[in-house]
Amino acid sequence: MTAAGKMMVFSDYGIVVASGFAAEPPPEVVEDMRRRYGIDEHYEEKLLEAAKKQQKEFVEKQEDQHIQTIVTMLKKPKLGGSGNSGGDTHQG
């Protein structure tokens, strides 16, 4: 925000326990946040990975249900027929 010339209001983000202007926090600050507050600096990546996994499972389940619906429809007997479509007869 500061690079864009916008004013930052830190209180908008809750209670500030540490701040700085570097692109990445210093390793000692990361370690202190991890130790004191249980912060996981890889949380966003893990959350995204979990969401993608759940999305894949959901899509696979939907596809399986769709295929099952099609199979069920194909197994239903045809109306007005004896199960023989097209009028062909088979003599053995």
The residue-averaged pLDDT of 42-47 equals 94
What phi-psi label fits residue 86: left (phi over 0), alpha (psi between -120 and 50 degrees) or beta? left
Q: What percent of the chain has pLDDT over 90?
A: 48
Rounded mean pLDDT of the chain? 84
pLDDT of residue 43: 92
Contacts 24+ apart (CB under 8 A), 15-23: none
Distance CA 17, CA 67 (A): 53
pTM for this prediction? 0.48
